[in-house]
Structure 1
Amino acid sequence: MNKTPLFALLALLAFGLLTYLYFTPSYQGAFLAQYELSRGEYKEAERLAQESLGLDPYNRLAMSVLKEAKKEREWQGLLREAKERKGEIEHSLGIKLSLEQKRRLEWLVKMTLEQFASMGSGAPSSLELKEERERLESWYKRLDRELKAL
């Protein structure tokens, strides 16, 4: 039995499906959103994925891009806040601390470490955000040990 016609038919169907997906506006938007996500443009990726889902609510690619973009934006926000707190803490460490100031610093450190732990299940996928998270988390853990030793 000759399998060439069957193979040609399956190849033609696969090509037709891929062509359909590529030229469907919903999937075009999802592919563009995925590209923006890979570039680190999370807000734009989220917007494009949302538009794609508006066109086709069952677009799995758009759903996954939207979910990942939201998670990455959460990480960006958390890391931005942690950096701001780090600057505030470093400024406070330059002066002699009262008991109240020490407790406030301990609270800030504890709160930040708890936020890192609560987001731990969905670690950032971008290498840049991962490295920044590890650097900040180790700094906060070291500071926590130092504050407990005081």
Structure 2
Amino acid sequence: MVRSVALILWAGLIFLFTCTESIEQFLQQGVISFTWSKYPNMTEFWYPLPTTLDTSFISRKIGHALSFFILSILVFIVSTSKKKMFAISLLYGVTTEVLQLFFRRGGRLFDIGFDGMGVVAALFIVVSIQLVQEKSLTRNSQT
């Protein structure tokens, strides 16, 4: 039960960051504001990576990956399925990027890639831990 609550709270926090008008205002001043756009500019979704990558941009993308890494681990803890972890986390990444367009934020296809990096990193960690555990069990059963 606690694990499910942690997952729901984390997904809710990602949603809050996704939809609030300004993450900077939220983090610096605690201001949460939402502005709904009935007809967003969907072409923004396809904009490429910027040509200059400043530290602010890089830290935001690390935040994407880290957020979805944590989300993926929580999904795995609740579901114990690597397939569900991958599918649910990646689908949530796609959903949040599209939703950003409706909240006058910049939802981008390339951000799904950064979300996906966090998902894949979590999958790698889970698989690695399972392999180590299997080897340990095999050694213990042979002795």
More helix by percentage: 1
TM-score (norm 1): 0.29
Q: Which structure carries more relative contact order (alpha carbon 8 Å, separation 6+)? A: 2
